Amino acid sequence: MTHPGTRINPRSDQVCVNGRAIQSVDRQTYILLHKPPGYLVSARDPHHAQTIYKLLRGIDARVFPVGRLDLDTRGVLLLMDDGDLAFRLTHPRYGVKKVYRAWVSGHPSEAVLRALREGMKLSDGVTAPAHIRVMRARGGDTELEFVLHEGRKRQVKRMCEAAGHRVQSLIRTHFAGLTTRHLKLGQWRHLTQAEVKRLRELVGLNQEQ
């Protein structure tokens, strides 16, 4: 292909200059995994039996997780080899929205819910205001929905522990608007180009670079 302005399909066409392949941003790899409990979110580690990479067979790119989920947490986990986007998606400055469903022990009082919403004092500072809804109660437990715009380590569990309620199970239902819809536990898919474009715009990165 030599004609200037020739249109290419970045998903299927390979562009070469002087015989060398050009790596375009569109060739970067963006994965959405429905993480099951029991899989460690860590760097690729051939010695650790059960990391998320066990579930990602068939992906050649060196994708890395965007933030962390605990061993026993399930739900939306993004992996990518786009460092700029991953950095911004996890940086508190960009306030990317994360939604969790947590079953907690006991029935949090209105005062406890208010404290959780307004900010809990944790070892690394006071948490930012959060939207928290009571979803339902079952036996001695309560299901809460957390909408967070920061992503501290083990944030939901630490907030609940500080409020006197142990988290029994935790699911991340949304990350930046993405969900696990149509994915069974352990399944993954590539993000669409439209999804990648939306994520990049969300954190102030342009598609064209």
Single out the residue of 155, 165, 196, 199 in contact with ligand URA (rule: CB under 6 A): 155
| 157 near ligand URA (CB under 6 A) | yes
In contact, 34 and 75? CB cutoff 8 Å: yes
- Region binding ligand URA by CB under 6 A among candidate stretches 66-74, 115-123, 131-139, 200-208: 66-74
Q: What are phi and psi of 124, to 5 degrees?
A: -105, 25
- Region binding ligand URA by CB under 6 A among candidate stretches 50-58, 89-97, 120-128, 152-160: 152-160
14 contacts: CB under 8 Å, gap ≥ 6: 21
- Region binding ligand URA by CB under 6 A among candidate stretches 3-11, 13-21, 65-73, 80-88: 65-73
Task: Provide the 3-class DSSP secondary structure of residue 86.
Answer: helix
| 156 near ligand URA (CB under 6 A) | yes
Give the binding-site size for ligand URA (rule: CB under 6 A): 8
Whole-number Å distance between alpha carbons of 89 and 83: 10
Q: Is 124 a known active-site residue?
A: no
Q: Which is nearer to ligand URA, 127 or 200 (CB)?
A: 127
Task: Classify each residue of 14-52 as buried b or exposed e, where b means 16 or more C-beta atoms within 10 Å of its C-beta.
Answer: eeeeeeeeeeebeeeebbbbbbbeebbbeeeeeeeeebb
Q: Which is nearer to ligand URA, 73 or 142 (CB)?
A: 73
Whole-number Å distance between alpha carbons of 52 and 64: 10
The CB-of-36 to ligand URA minimum distance in angstroms stands at 13
The CB-of-77 to ligand URA minimum distance in angstroms stands at 9
- State the pairing for strand pair 188-190/125-126: unpaired
Residues 72 to 111: which contact ligand URA by CB under 6 A?
73
Out of 70, 81, 82, 124, the active site residue is 70
155 contacts: CB under 8 Å, gap ≥ 6: 122, 127, 148
- Region binding ligand URA by CB under 6 A among candidate stretches 7-15, 30-38, 150-158, 196-204: 150-158
Distance of CA 77 to the CA centre of its chain: 4
| 149 near ligand URA (CB under 6 A) | no
Binding site for ligand URA (CB under 6 A): 69-70, 73, 154-157, 170
Please list the active-site residues.
70
